[in-house]
Structure 1
Amino acid sequence: MTDLVIGADGLPRCAWGASTPDYAIYHDTEWGRPLRGDDALYERMTLEAFQSGLSWLTILRKRPAFRLAFDEFRIQTVADYDETDVTRLLADAGIVRNRAKIEAAISNARAALDLPDGLSALLWSYAPAPRPTRPASFAEVPAITPESTAMAKALKKGGFRFVGPTTAYALMQATGMVDDHIVGCHVTLPPAA
């Protein structure tokens, strides 16, 4: 498989983004686009944690059910969840029913409320300086960086769970803190600033 594929629509895109229609939409409209806002970033962080050990496609396809189950990922609402909500979520076949990840999502909402400047400010403070060029191939795309390691360490210190350096880097990619679209990909991203 080459790293850049010409889709049925004639557009060159990162190979993973051409593998399914769901991925093509996500690749073209969301992945790598700068995202800010505490609730929006909490959603992405939570979904990245649920993805651990699974395919992102599984999570992407379950995202509408996750949004419904987790009250659109409103941090204040999720932070108020109790054991009744954990039981409700464990019974919801539309989401990934993993007690540790569900409890981490609730705990992480509570930790987000304790951040003095908010979740968005904390996460974006670890965004690296933009690269001068996009990667030429996926072989140039790291799984972990010093910035993602530092982000994960800060989150852990703040009481967050299920957000290690690899998950932190995936979050950076998904939310436009880094641009890992391959050279030649048709997606044009706005500046992260």
Structure 2
Amino acid sequence: MSGAVATLVSLADVEAAHERIRGAVRRTPLIPAPFPRAGGRGATDAPDGVWLKCENLQRVSAFKARGAYNFVSRLSPEERAAGLLTYSSGNHAQAVAWAARAFGVPARIVMPVDAPDVKREATIALGAQVELEGTTSAERKARAEQIQREVGGTMVPPFDDPDIIAGQGTVALEIIEQLGSREPGMVLAPIGGGGQLS
């Protein structure tokens, strides 16, 4: 499903995704944030229990691997055989390319003409066919949809899909497991498409 998410993603959906992706993605560490000591010498553990979830150590160095793998794992053999198709400026592109390689299926990714070389090259190195188009997400999406109409393929949405959201939600399950009896007062996360906070 592409477009607005029509159904809410439940805790049961996230738990099921966690089981599906177990062994494929990494259980990333949750570490106390180092803060500078008074006087600028060395570092100490964070005051008030500030913790960092190290998704930079995830496959393709991003939490996006969780959602992409979960999405692809839920496809029928026929949907996988049609090949995967997506649009992304980088992390989702690499995640879909990685998931496609894990399942032994082709992937075609539409990236912006100004995509960083390192992200484009990493996506190609994972075996995806990359096409460059425009500079906006709308341009990339339109081109990916055109390709899908012309040659087929299964679209892997970058963020607005229940299976993507459930896969990415497994970050929260790991945080809860790793914190044990400690309860976080708040969670801070960067926002692009909103996938990590979904």
TM-score (norm 2): 0.23
Higher share of residues assigned helix: 1
Relative contact order, CA 8 A, sep 6+: which one is greater? 1
Q: Looking at CA atoms only, which structure, 1 or 2, has the larger radius of gyration?
A: 2
TM-score (norm 1): 0.23
